Structure 1
Amino acid sequence: MSGSRTAPADVGHIACIGAGVIGGGWVAHFLARGYRVTAWDPAPDASEKLHRLVDLAWPALTELGLAEGADRNNLTVAETLENAVADADFVQESAPEDLELKRDLLARIDAATPVDVVISSSTSGFTMTEMQERCTTPQRLVVGHPFNPPYLIPLVEVVGGEGTEESAVRWASEFFEVAGKSVITMDREVPGFIANRLQEAIWREALHMVANGEATVEQIDTSITEGPGLRWPLFGPCLTFHLAGGEGGMAHMLDHFGPSLKAPWTRLEAPELTGELRDRMVSGCEQAADGRDNAELVAQRDSAVIAVMRAMQQLKEAG
């Protein structure tokens, strides 16, 4: 099937199916990398919202540096899914996390897309094996799981399903790298993938602490931004704990602190999302926002992430 597939470095036209927060973030990223993008979303106001999202992201993308030929005018919003994918070199689907919807939509995309084109899903929880079962050519479907906002956060996790050819996984990983992403090509399907499993553990513990009155939203966020989060841009949790072991490294860390793993410090089962817990989380975030609207928060987040990314790049180049 892959004999006439466009080489990853030669991709020029990308179709983005689904244009919400994630899909729109993909659109902005691809436009900034110089691609022509055709988007489709069934919502009646999708075009207006998509253009607003791209405009909101563009200052950050400009700050990072646009690729040659990058232009917001390279975006077309198609009237039908079929028109969107008709001459695409690559398709990125970003529909809501509803398994039946994903199965039906990917089957439609599969039927309408030229046979050699790789189709990627932005799912954050479903496996490709679950989603590709209604497709006629499942061998070219992969998961390309991004992180919000996709135009700014480099990571994308790539993995195929039981019906996916390894060549499609390799092609997708190479394409995402060409498109400016940092790629983890997973060895096997894992529900929730890698990064989501880790951040979900923190999220569940945070909900438990709020539900039990042990910490506020502000305290929880500060505990990360002023604590472990400062160490993680350069070294992840494993190397961080390796350093915690001193000269003995991870071996000393595990031998010395291993018994504490049995201490009841964490509760990985999710707490019941009661109305009271929901309200406390919402009000806590409103207090933390301190009157800033979404556009202000996005601009501040993007500026901070860019500063961290630039500092990390300088460290890598120096070292």
Structure 2
Amino acid sequence: MTTITKAAAIGGGVIGAGWVARLALNGIDVAIFDPDPQAARKVGEVMEGARRAYRRMAPDGLPKEGRITYAATIAEAVAGADLIQESVPERLEVKHKVLAEIDAHAPAEAVVGSSTSGIKASDMQSAMQRPERLVVAHPFNPVYLLPLVEIVGGEQTSGQAVERARALYASIGMKPVVIRKEIEAFVGDRLLEAVWREALWLIKDDVTTVEELDDIMRYSFGLRWAQMGLFQTYRIAGGEAGMRHFMAQFGPCLSWPWTKLMDVPELTDELVDKIADQSDEQAKGLSIHELERIRDDNLVAMMEALSKENDGKGWGAGALYKDFVERLGETKAKSGEE
């Protein structure tokens, strides 16, 4: 399997720090560049949470942790790196500036992955002399636990870079999915945006509250999606006749005027205050860090449970989790870490 000997993280915010945690806890050295004077503190807090989650995943011990260093420049950070993960703010002019500098100093064989949530690789490649090695590598938060990474090539991305990226991300326990067509926001965020848009209308129109809406999701279809996704869930809903019957039975309702999906509610101060106030009430005094710990514990527990299903082979994310934990153990044995 293709392995990463050194990685660089350009940007140490929530997503960048999540990448650092996943890489370092896989035993990979990571150099970080982030001009934020609070970067070390922020990354350190994410590392603390990630270590806690990984110790629960692998109670027999983890590999020797990769060394985390803070570089003074992008050039220093990317020197000798196999994988460079760019996680800077979602502004094209910022991406262009950072990617141009990465491109000027990175080793020729390095893969450059952008964590962008919606910008196309083709729109970022114009800043690079070696655009063929840039891929979108879009993860989901928390990066150190959620395994999916959407890989999207641009017009100038080489097939070799896409395949190498797929192998590199798989080597750190991720589930790379190569998106077949380059579109803004890719696939995951397109689906999330549709649900988010409808949810905003339901809150704005006082149909439900923030807490009630979250309960509706987590006590019903959220559980189904977590282990079987959308289409396989609906295949079962079609009974013995499967998906064709489901489509015939429920397809016509798609033309009914149920949804406001094509409209966007204005994010007025009133709506923002309503959502924020309801969210504060829902949290019941729990801090963000406390909620992150609860989230991580729940994610580990769900993946652990799924890892034991399917006659012990694991199911869905649980199968990948099972393989990943075994790989962590093998890496630990090779590193001699106690």
CA distance in 1, matches of 2:169, 2:49: 23
Q: Deviations over 1:155-181 (max 9, x none)?
A: 001111001111000000011111110
5 Å-filtered alignment, 1:212-227, equals 212-227=205-220
Listed one character per residue, the Cα deviations across residues 96-136 of structure 1 (whole Å, up to 9, x for unaligned) are 11111111111111111111211000000100001111101
**CA distance in structure 2 between the partners assigned to 1:22 and 1:85 by the alignment:** 18
Task: Report whether the alignment pairs 1:110 with 2:103.
Answer: yes
User: Residue in 2 aligned with 1:286?
Assistant: 280
Alpha-carbon distance between aligned partners in 2 of 1:251 and 1:70, rounded to the nearest angstrom: 51
Q: Which residue of 2 aligns with 1:148?
A: 141
Tell me the residue number matched to 2:234.
Answer: 241
For the residues of structure 1 that align with 2:3 and 2:186, how far apart are their CA atoms? 29
Letter of the 1:265 counterpart:
W
The letter for the 2-side match of 1:85 is: V
Shift of 1:265: 2.1
Aligned equivalent of 2:129: 136
In 1: Cα distance, 2:288 partner to 2:252 partner = 44
1:221 positional shift: 0.2
- Secondary structure of 2:227 counterpart: coil
The aligned amino acid for 2:102 is I
Partner of 1:36: 29
Match in the other structure for 1:4: none
- Residue 182 of structure 1 is aligned with which of 175, 190, 202? 175
SS at match of 1:16: strand
**Residue of structure 1 in register with 2:322 after alignment:** none
**Equivalents in 1 of 2:16, 2:311: separation in Å?**
32
What TM-score, normalized by structure 1, do the two folds share?
Answer: 0.94
Cα deviation for residue 237 of structure 1 reads 0.9
Q: Is the 8 Å Cα contact of residues 3 and 168 (structure 2) preserved in structure 1?
A: no
Q: 1:94 to 1:136 in 2, by over 3 A?
A: same
Q: Residue 23 of structure 2 contacts residue 30 of structure 2 at CA under 8 Å; is this kept in 1? A: yes
Q: Quick one: distance in 2 between partners of 1:60 and 1:285?
A: 25
Q: Does 2:29 align with 1:12?
A: no
Pair 1:307 & 2:301 matched: yes
Distance 1:196 1:10 in 2: 28
Q: In the alignment, is the contact (CA less than 8 A) between 1:233 and 1:312 conserved in 2? A: no
Separation in 2, partners of 1:227, 1:276 = 30
- Give 3-state SS (helix, strand or coil) of 1:232's partner: helix
Amino acid at match of 1:312: L
> How far apart in 1 are the matches of 2:56 and 2:268?
42
Q: How many angstroms does 1:201 deviate by? A: 0.9
Match of 1:3 in 2: none
Letter in 2 for 1:15: A
| Structure 1 residue identity aligned to 2:185 | G
The count of aligned residue pairs is: 311
Q: 2:12, 2:277 → 1: CA distance?
A: 28
The answer to whether the 8 A contact 1:159-1:187 is kept is yes
Equivalent residues of 2:150, 2:176 under 8 A apart: yes
Secondary structure in 2 matching 1:123: coil
What is the distance in 2 between the residues matched to 1:68 and 1:210? 44
Once the two structures are TM-superposed, the CA of residue 276 in structure 1 deviates from its matched residue by: 0.8
RMSD: 1.4
Question: How far apart in 1 are the matches of 2:278 and 2:10?
Answer: 34
Where does residue 160 of structure 1 map in the other structure? 153
Q: 1:278 to 1:77 in 2, by over 3 A?
A: same
**Separation in 2 of the partners of 1:156 and 1:10?**
17
Work out the CA distance in 2 between the residues paired with 1:106 and 1:42: 15
Unpaired runs of 5+ residues, structure 2, are 314-338
Displacement of 1:317 after TM fit?
Answer: 4.5
SS at match of 1:19: coil
Higher RCO (Cα < 8 Å, 6 or more apart): 2
Query: 1:85 and 1:27, CA in 2 relative to 1: closer, same or farther beyond 3 A?
Result: same
Displacement of 1:152 after TM fit? 0.8
Per-residue CA distance 1:223-258 (angstroms, 9 max, x = gap): 110010111122111111111111111111111111
1:60 corresponds in structure 2 to 53
Distance 2:125 2:55 in 1: 37
- Give the aligned partner of residue 46 of structure 1: 39
CA distance in 1, matches of 2:267, 2:223: 30
